Structure 1
Amino acid sequence: MLVTQVSLYIVGSLFCFVEKLRNKKIAFRMEFDRVQTIASLSFDKEAIPEEFIMPEKEQPAITTFRGLAPEIPAIDLSDPDQEKLVGLIADASKEWGIFQVINHGIPSDLIAELQGAGKKFFELPQEEKEVCARPRDSESIEGYGSKLLNDPQEKKTWVDHLFHRIWPPPSINYQFWPENPPSYREVNKEYAKYMRDVVDKLFTTLSLGLGLEGHVLKEAAGGEQIEYMLKINYYPPCPRPDLTLGVEAHTDLSAITILVPNEVPGLQIFKDDHWIEAKYIPDALIIHIGDQIEILSNGKYKAVLHRTTVAKDRARMSWPVFLEPPGELVVGPLPEFINKDNPPKFKTKKFKDYMYCKLNKLPQ
């Protein structure tokens, strides 16, 4: 009997010891995750770590165009002249791959509430933001975090982010929607409702601009199953904004990206061999043509090459919504744009395979 009690005591003690080690390991892992965001780094107020310093050919102080540059087209989405509207959007999509829209139907106070809720989230203590953190072993990009855990040989960019889907309802995972501030969820739900009308109008005008029926591009990109992936980019103040970037040069893997910026400048697009800064227009939406529309149009519409700079004394933020086909959807050049004189310029493949190659920098 005594031997049994001793054995049970030893087993119980071992169990408690292992459990304490496990809890310490979990706590350490949470702490390790927590410091892997820009906002929680400690650094010299006049310097940044070496891994954030871009090569000279990418440094914004050297490569940003300083002369008189053309402005990104700004288009009134409420223009009653449909033919004119279609022409303006088609021309901008072919020549620039980007344009801004005003009078788009999303109330300015709702945009302000969206921005306010996002700003409040990023001002929370780090441990509260970690509630929405992306799990380390997750194959999805949803959640709060940064890219600091990428390949140590790569240059780091000066940005933290929050990813989560806002439409359609079956694709939403509320695990990654902040509960604090309390207004966050309701504001994002309302924003998604208004966003749907803007999306439909953009797809329709882009289709008509290619000589197609208005429904073609949206259906080819996934129809009502198109996923709206919201990202909040948070670029903290940076002591050396001349040396680093918020986001390196890239095109979006989406079909279309619809972006709301704050008033701090930073979005730059590559046009005519120059990096040109986008003009800030209050309440305007910035529309990016993404890779999938370029593929569907067989190159008639151009995905815009763009990057983001940061500021020294102010935080820059942006709220892009990436319109992405469902993963299993096969995307390729539409038959209308292929003939003996115009062979396919892109491979036809499932969107999830395209995304995997793009995110892992593999050849398409």
Structure 2
Amino acid sequence: MESSISSTELNCISLADPDIQKSVALLKQACLDSGFFYVVDHGISEEFMDEVFAQSKKFFDLPHIEKMKLLRDKKNRGYTPMLDEILDPENQVNGDYKEGYYIGVEVPADSPEANKPFCGPNQWPAEEVLPKWREVMEQYHREALRVAKSVARIIALALDLDVDFFDRPEMLAKPIATLRLLHYEGRVSNPAKGVYGAGAHSDYGLITLLATDDVVGLQICKDRNAQPQVWEYVAPVKGGFIVNLGDMLERWSNCIFRSTLHRVVLDGRERYSVNSLLCGTKPRLRSRVPANLQI
């Protein structure tokens, strides 16, 4: 495991700060620099966040045979086993040392909307196996989407657009929003030998909200083309989110804002995180940000 990696400093945006121009300036600088920043004062209580993590742990503590009954389906909903995903195949010798659970916007199977890509019903553990689990996760999904839309309004201002730009029907009125529960196995990563908690990648959506426990593991590389690449740890923030931009927003901003390479390197401790990824209404929607944007 690499031992000389330092931690990076990230701007922190408070959604309760009445000085919106201050928030816009902090966010804009973060988007230009690394595409990563903290968001606090978002309106989700720490007690509820703790409950989400507790319920996530309850699922991952189930016997493997129980989790495999909910194996991820063609709609990308459900369980992904340890080593199932490999995010950096050129450098990884195995898959990621993590297991996950995907939850999307609930769409009944008999709805016409269910025929669209990425739309459909979720898979849920039986109520007798995990009581109130679905209720907690659906509430968190709604709350995280609310926070993501609040952040998107600040991003719109940072791009010199109308504050409601991303609220328009063709943008985020019916977004593709995915909640991912993640559990990292308690083993030591070794990047030199291609062993990672999660391999290096950039996110494909608009923005990602990441809530983690207090176990450090997330690393970012601000310049993916540097040789050698320089990796920096991102410290967890209790009760807040680590937010990063995805490839979609980099494209929509004409590559001015950054979608940054990141990975998870483990130190032998188990790690839990909850990841909320927000895309536009249509995953391949062409850019509607002005082509002559200058920042």
- Give me the TM-score of the superposition, normalised by structure 2: 0.83
Q: Pick the aligned partner of 1:253 from 197, 200, 204.
A: 204
* Cα deviation, residue 335, structure 1: 5.2
Q: Which residue of 2 aligns with 1:187?
A: 136
* Cα deviation, residue 210, structure 1: 0.9
1:225 is paired with a residue of what secondary structure? Answer: coil
Alpha-carbon distance in structure 2 between the residues aligned to 1:121 and 1:228: 21
Tell whether 2:98 aligns with 1:159.
yes
2:10 is paired with a residue of what secondary structure? Answer: coil
Tell whether 2:276 aligns with 1:331.
no
* Cα deviation, residue 258, structure 1: 0.8
Which one has a larger percent helix, Structure 1 or Structure 2?
1
* Cα deviation, residue 219, structure 1: 3.5
Q: Which residue of 1 aligns with 2:5?
A: 66
Q: Counterpart amino acid of 1:174? A: N
Q: Counterpart amino acid of 2:271? A: R
The answer for unaligned runs of 5 or more in structure 2 is 114-118, 224-228
* Cα deviation, residue 198, structure 1: 1.0
CA-atom RMSD in angstroms:
2.7
Could you say if the C-alpha distance between residues 270 and 334 of structure 1 is closer, same or farther in structure 2, counting changes exceeding 3 Å?
same
* Cα deviation, residue 131, structure 1: 2.0
Tell whether 2:199 aligns with 1:264.
no
Q: Pick the aligned partner of 2:147 from 194, 198, 207.
A: 198
Could you say if the C-alpha distance between residues 122 and 335 of structure 1 is closer, same or farther in structure 2, counting changes exceeding 3 Å?
closer
Alpha-carbon distance in structure 2 between the residues aligned to 1:321 and 1:126: 24
Alpha-carbon distance in structure 1 between the residues aligned to 2:281 and 2:288: 18
Could you say if the C-alpha distance between residues 84 and 91 of structure 1 is closer, same or farther in structure 2, counting changes exceeding 3 Å?
same
Q: Counterpart amino acid of 2:256? A: K
The answer as to whether partners of 1:121 and 1:178 remain within 8 angstroms in 2 is no
Q: Pick the aligned partner of 1:124 from 62, 67, 70.
A: 62
Greater relative CO, 1 or 2 (CA 8 Å, sep 6+):
2
* Cα deviation, residue 167, structure 1: 5.8
Equivalent residues in 2 for 1:1-364, closer than 5 Å = 61-62=1-2, 65-67=4-6, 69-135=7-73, 138=74, 140-146=75-81, 148=83, 155-156=93-94, 157-166=96-105, 171=119, 173-176=121-124, 179=127, 180-219=129-168, 222-238=171-187, 240-242=188-190, 243=193, 244-271=195-222, 273-312=229-268, 314-327=269-282, 330-334=284-288, 336-338=290-292
The answer as to whether partners of 2:153 and 2:163 remain within 8 angstroms in 1 is yes
Q: Counterpart amino acid of 1:318? A: S
* Cα deviation, residue 221, structure 1: 6.8
1:300 is paired with a residue of what secondary structure? Answer: coil
* Cα deviation, residue 66, structure 1: 3.1
Deviation per residue, 1:99-125 (Å, 9 max, x gap): 111111111111111100000100011
Deviation per residue, 1:269-320 (Å, 9 max, x gap): 11354211111211111111011111111112111211011231x2111110
Deviation per residue, 1:184-222 (Å, 9 max, x gap): 111112212322331221111000011100122343873
Alpha-carbon distance in structure 1 between the residues aligned to 2:48 and 2:107: 20
Q: Counterpart amino acid of 1:292? A: M
Alpha-carbon distance in structure 1 between the residues aligned to 2:107 and 2:207: 16
The answer as to whether partners of 1:248 and 1:308 remain within 8 angstroms in 2 is yes
- Give me the TM-score of the superposition, normalised by structure 1: 0.68
The answer as to whether partners of 1:161 and 1:231 remain within 8 angstroms in 2 is yes
Alpha-carbon distance in structure 2 between the residues aligned to 1:280 and 1:324: 24
The answer as to whether partners of 1:164 and 1:172 remain within 8 angstroms in 2 is no
Q: Which has the larger radius of gyration?
A: 1
